[in-house]
Amino acid sequence: MAFTWMDLAAIALTVVCIIILRSSVTRSKPPLPPGPTRWPVVGNLFSLPESGNMFDAFTEWSNQYGDVTFAQILNQSIVIINSYEAALELLEHRSILYSQRPRMVMANELVGWEPCLATMPYGTNHRRMRKIIHEGTSPKAMETLRPAQEREALKFVQRLLDTPGDLHQHIRQTAGATLIKLVYGYEIETRHDYFLDLAEKAVDMFSVVTTPGSFMVDTFPWLKILPWAPFKTKAKEWQKLVTRLLEEPAGYTRQCMEKGKFEPCLLAGWLERAGEQGAEKDEMLIKWAATTIYSAGIDTTVSSVSFFFAHMVHHPDIQAAAQAEIDRVVGTQRLPTYSDRESLPYVEALFKEVLRWHPAAPFGIPHQLDSDQDDVYKGMRIPRGSLIIPNIRAMTRNPNVYHDPDGFTPERFLNDDGIAESDPGAFVFGFGRRRCPGIHIAHSSVWLSIALTLAVYDITPYVGADGTPELPTLGYSRTTISQPEPFKCTIKLRSMATKKLVEDSVIIN
C-alpha cells in the first residue's frame, strides 16, 4: 500500500501530537525523587556497582541524592528511603498504603516462605498472625519465659568458659537454643542438635532468597515456567527444608502436649488457647507464627552479638566503663539478670550503640506502594507499585541525627547534658505494620548476652603466631540479614571468682 505525502504528514502530525500530549501529562505530574540517570528500557540496570549488589548501590546513591532516592531497574520503580523522617511519614503514618510486600517469586512462590509473617502479603492473615505473636511476646507475656531465656544466656558464658575459641559457634548455638526453647519448649544440649542444624540451614537460605537481585526470576517472573532452570532445582530442595522447619519442631511440641509433659512455651500456649476457643482451624497459622519467630530471630541476634564482640576488641575503654558499672551496681557476688537492666544505663547505651552501628537488617525487606494511583511526598511523586527500600543503615549513620555517626560511642545515648540522641530501637526492627512483633525477644536476648559477657570476661585482640594483634575488620555481608566478616578475638576470665559465679549459676539454673 503506497502512502501519499498527505498520509505521511497526517501520521507525522499524529505522532507529534502523542509526544506532546505525553509530555504535557508528565509535566503536569510532580517530579520524581532525585536519583541516578536512567537509560531507556533498562533504567539503572547498568548503574549498579561492580559488585552487582543492589545494597552497595543503595548506599552509594543515598550519599549522593539525599533523603529519598528514585531508581528504576527495567520496568520496576524503586524508591530508597534514607531518613527516619521520610520512613516515619510513609511507612508509619501512611502504613495503609505501604504495608504490602512486592511479588517475591523465588522466596514465596517457589521456595514456600509466603505464609511467614515477614514475607506474606498484607491482609487478614497478616493481621491475625501479627496479633498472635504480639500477645505472646509482649513485655508482660515475656515475664513467664524470662527464666528460660536467662538460663540459655548463662549457658552461653559457660560455653565460652569451656571453649572460648569457638565464639561464633557458641553465639549461633545460643541464639537458636534460646528461640527453640521459648517457642517450642525444646532444650538443645549439643552444638550439632538436629533442630538447630535445621534452623541454621533454613535461616541462611531465607537471607539469600529475600535479598534483592539474588535471582533473575524475581525480575523476570516468566522464567519460572522453564522446566529445567537450575534455580527451580534449588527451589525444590529448599521447599522441603521449609516444610521440615514448619512441621518437625511443632510436631515435637504437639507430642509433648499429648503426653502431658511439656514446659511453658509460646506454641503450646497458642495451641491450648486455640483449642479452648474452638479455633483448631487456626493451627497452621499458629505453626507459621512459631516458625516466623524461630527463623527470623536467630540471625538477627547472631549479627548483633557478633558485632558487640568485634567492637569490644576495638574499644577496651568502653568495655572497661561498662564492666565498672556492672561491678558498682550488681556487685561481684552474683551475675547480672534482666531485672538489673534499668539500673545499668551505660550497658543499655552500649546495647543501643551496637544496634545503631550496624543494624542486623540494613535494608529490611522491601515494602510496596499498594495503590491504584501515585503518592506524593514533599512534592515528589512516588509511582504506584514502587518497591520501597528502607535504608536503615543510612538512617543510623545520618550526621544530622548522630554526631560522628561512623564512631562507636555509647555516650551518645546518655542524657547527662540533657540531650540524648535518637534511640535506634525505634526503627532498626522495621516500620509500621511490618515492624517485627517479636522485638522484645530479640532485644532482651542480645542485652543478656552483652551484660553477662561483660560481667565475666575481658575481650581483647587475637594475637597471631608472629605476636601481632589482629583487629576485626568490621566488614559485613551484603544479605538481608547481615553478618560481620569472620574475625578472631581473645576471651579471658576477669577473675577466678567470676568463673565460680558462672559454674554455680549454671548448676542452680
**387-390 and 457-463 beta bridge pairing:** unpaired
Looking at the domain assignment, is residue 343 inside a domain? yes
Residue 92 lies in a domain: yes
Q: Where does 315-418 have alpha helices with state H? A: 316-329, 345-357, 392-396
* Residue 297 near residue 203, CB atoms below 8 Å: no
How many domains are there within the chain? 1
Which SS3 state, helix, strand or coil, does residue 36 take? coil
Q: Give the integer Cα–Cα distance in Å for 64 and 70.
A: 12
- Cβ neighbours of residue 495 closer than 8 Å, sequence gap 6 or more: none
All residue ranges of the chain with pLDDT < 70 are 1-27, 49-53, 278-280, 416-419, 506-509
Within a domain: 16: no
Q: What are phi and psi of 418, to 5 degrees?
A: 85, 0
Tell me, yes or no, whether 119 lies in a domain: yes
- Given phi > 0 = left and psi -120 to 50 = alpha, else beta, which region is 387? beta
pLDDT on residue 9: 54
Q: How far apart are CA 507 and CA 333, in angstroms?
A: 16
For residue 235, how many other CB atoms are within 10 A of its CB?
Answer: 21
pLDDT tens-place string over residues 155-167: 999 999 999 999 9
CA triplet 125, 128, 133: central angle to 5 degrees? 120
CA distance 374 to 64: 24
d(CA 87, CA 90): 5
φ, ψ (nearest 5 deg) of residue 367: -95, 175
The answer to the question of residue 9 being in a domain is no
Residue 190 corresponds to which cell in the numbers above? 549439643
The four Cα atoms 472, 477, 481, 487 give a dihedral, to 10 degrees, of -20
Q: Among candidates 480, 429, 387, which has minimal Cα distance to 100? A: 387
Q: Is 91 among the domain residues? A: yes
Structural domain boundaries, residue 384: 32-508
Report the predicted TM-score, pTM, of the whole model to 2 decimal places.
0.89
Q: Is residue 17, in this structure, part of any structural domain at all?
A: no
pLDDT of residue 55: 75
Does residue 146 fall inside a structural domain? yes
Residues 355, 361: Cα–Cα separation, whole Å: 10
Which domain CATH number covers 319? 1.10.630.10
b/e per residue 85-106 (b: at least 16 CB within 10 A)? bbbbebbbebbebbbbbbebbb
Q: What are phi and psi of 8, to 5 degrees?
A: -65, -40
Tell me how far apart the 2 most distant CA atoms of the chain are, in Å.
101
pLDDT at residue 131, as a whole number:
92
Buried b (16+ CB within 10 A) or exposed e, 161-173: beebeebbebbbb
Q: Which three cell numbers stand for residue 480?
A: 538481608
Handedness of CA 135, 139, 144, 146 (dihedral sign): positive
Query: Collapsing DSSP states into helix, strand and coil, what is residue 100?
Result: strand
| Interatomic CA distance for residues 441 and 438, integer angstroms | 6
All cell numbers assigned to 158: 559457660
> Nearest Cα to 77, choosing from 390, 391, 387?
387
* CA angle (202 as vertex; 201, 207 as ends), nearest 5: 100
Nearest to 187 by CA among 155, 143, 141: 155
